[in-house]
Structure 1
Amino acid sequence: MTTKDISVSRNDGQDRYELRLDGELVGIADYRIEPDAVALTHTVVEPAFRHQGYSSRLAKYAVDDIISDGRRIKPYCSYMAAYLGKHPEYSHHVSWPQG
């Protein structure tokens, strides 16, 4: 079994977080900067890579990055909302969208 080189980074030019395996882009989490928070708007991982922990790895990186910048998180994306609901340690950093 070969070990994959996994990297997650923020791409400010495209307003998204990116997860790469051996350099291949396999997951993204789009964001939008708002006055009071960073809105996480859409998360997708390529079908062949789903259910292997990559989505949660991408979510954790994005959430930790936003918090490290001293910003709040606003999860519009259903995946990010579910992730944050499962991780109450982040609850004091979340501004839940109204509506």
Structure 2
Amino acid sequence: MTNAPIALNEAARRFELTVDGHVAYEEFERFPGGIAYLHTVVPPALEGRGIGSRLVKHALDYAAAEGLKVRPDCSFVKTYIDRHPEYQGLL
């Protein structure tokens, strides 16, 4: 796993993590009082390094810190929440 920072790119509506010249991201859409996580993208060159999980954890922690409800439209985000019950309260 990498310690590179995750950036909030509000214009592109996504959280981004750049590693070795590749950009992984969590795409989102805001709605009143909440945020929907739409799609998790990890380039093939970065797969198997825990980057998708790191992005999702960051996105969920962001929602919690901002007091937002989460709509997990992305199956990867839904599965992450199912495996980490501490995030169930965000739904």
Q: Secondary structure at the match of 2:8?
A: strand
- Pick the structure with more helix per residue: 2
Q: Which has the larger radius of gyration?
A: 1
Matched, 1:93 2:82: no
- 1:21 partner letter: V
TM-score norm. by structure 1 comes to 0.84
Question: 8 Å contact 2:22–2:46 — kept in the other structure?
Answer: no
Aligned length: 91
> Which one of the candidate residues 7, 12, 16 is aligned to 2:10?
12
Question: 8 Å contact 1:18–1:25 — kept in the other structure?
Answer: no
Instruction: Give the deviation of 1:36 after TM superposition.
Output: 3.6
Name the counterpart of 2:19.
21
Provide the rounded CA distance (Å) in 1 between the counterparts of 2:30 and 2:3.
29
Name the counterpart of 1:42.
39
The runs of 4+ residues in structure 1 deviating greater than 6 Å are: none
User: Which blocks of at least 5 consecutive residues in structure 1 are unaligned?
Assistant: 95-99
For CA contacts below 8 A with separation 6 or more, give which structure has more relative contact order. 2
Provide the rounded CA distance (Å) in 1 between the counterparts of 2:61 and 2:52.
14
Percentage identity across paired residues of the two chains: 33
TM-score norm. by structure 2 comes to 0.90
